[in-house]
Amino acid sequence: MSDLTTLETEILAAIESADTEAALEDVRVAALGKKGSLSELMKTLGGMSPEERKTMGPALNGLKAKVTDALAARKEVLAEAALEARLASESVDVTLPLRSSPLETGRIHPVSQVIDELTAIFADMGFSIAEGPDIETDELNFTALNFPEGHPAREMHDTFFFNPKENGERLLLRTHTSPVQIRTMRNQEPPIRVIIPGRTYRCDSDQTHTPMFHQVEGLVIDKGAHFGNLKWVLEEFCKAFFEVDNIKMRFRPSFFPFTEPSMEVDVQCDRSGGEVKIGEGNDWLEILGCGMVHPNVIRNCGLDPDVYQGFAWGMGIDRIAMLKYGMADLRAFFDADVRWIQHYGFRPLDLPTLFGGMSS
């Protein structure tokens, strides 16, 4: 019995000194495993006399129960200690400032914002969006639009041409979104009411011009479309886009191969104070070109100019963005400067609407 007392003291001491669950498992195996010290003693009960079993049986079973309870208690203590250590190592300092969410740090580029504004305004007038490829044929970009052979716009210093094909045809980067007008008229029955935003390309680069820029054009083809309709559409657009109640517009005679008559459009503005304020003052600023669609263009699209007529206009998206939001240099639009986009960009959820404001 003295040996059992010694064994009990050793096992319980080992259990108490185990500082990890892995060490505690080693103690359990050494005591209660298949070849553990207590297990080996339990095997000797079969060779004892009945009188010895009456004494040793209860003593061994009692020791086994005591060791099992001690192991369970120590395991619970170690588990709690491990949890406390994990919580301490993974704690969060709730006094730290919150990180900005992606919706706070991300910004919508002014060009994308203005395209959304254009879409909202013209959609309310019944216009849909038309799109086309950036790489066009000479026929769609010039010929079908009534550009004569030898026109300066066809020269290399104005247009980005690709190398000629074997048949002599030369593709080009479109110089305006007008080829989409041709595609629309050839593939859609009138009445037609579309706006065409997109990228365009010309050999030009300075403070207010870049080799690639964005343009939006509008086209209306119907049996009764007239210049009064065009004037109303442009006035309503300018009032909504520049967010002014009233605006004066001046239509000056001009020339474009694809419209007749053709007009340059100026808007009322005030240039005093180092900024341009649209809709007030006594100054004028040119913002777009427009006119009635030339009969030759209508005829080139397979329509009868004696039955259908229409009007069209075009303006630079980058240019009107600069006017509205006070940006002085067009080249900064394409510099990918994070500081610039943080200053001039728009929050992703600030969607332009006619009832909520274009730039709310």
**pLDDT of the chain, 360 residues: tens digit per residue:** 557 778 778 888 888 888 888 888 888 888 888 888 888 878 777 777 887 777 777 887 887 888 888 888 888 988 898 888 888 888 777 787 877 777 777 889 999 999 999 999 999 999 999 999 999 999 999 999 999 887 776 665 588 989 988 888 889 999 999 999 999 999 999 999 999 999 999 887 776 678 899 999 999 999 999 999 999 999 999 999 999 988 999 999 999 999 999 999 999 998 887 788 888 888 999 999 999 999 999 999 999 999 999 999 999 999 999 999 988 888 888 888 889 988 999 888 888 888 777 776
Structure tokens, 249: 């517009």
In terms of Cα–Cα distance, which of 131, 127, 92 is closest to 236? 127
Structure tokens, 322: 């600069």
Does a cis peptide bond (omega within 30 degrees of 0) precede residue 253?
A: no
Burial (CB count within 10 angstroms: exposed 0-12, middle 13-18, buried 19+), residue 275 = exposed
Q: Phi/psi of residue 158, each to 5°?
A: -115, -25
**What is the rounded (10 degree) CA torsion for 261, 262, 268, 273?**
-160
CA distance 145 to 161: 18
260 is in an annotated binding site: yes
CA distance 132 to 118: 18
CA distance 58 to 56: 6
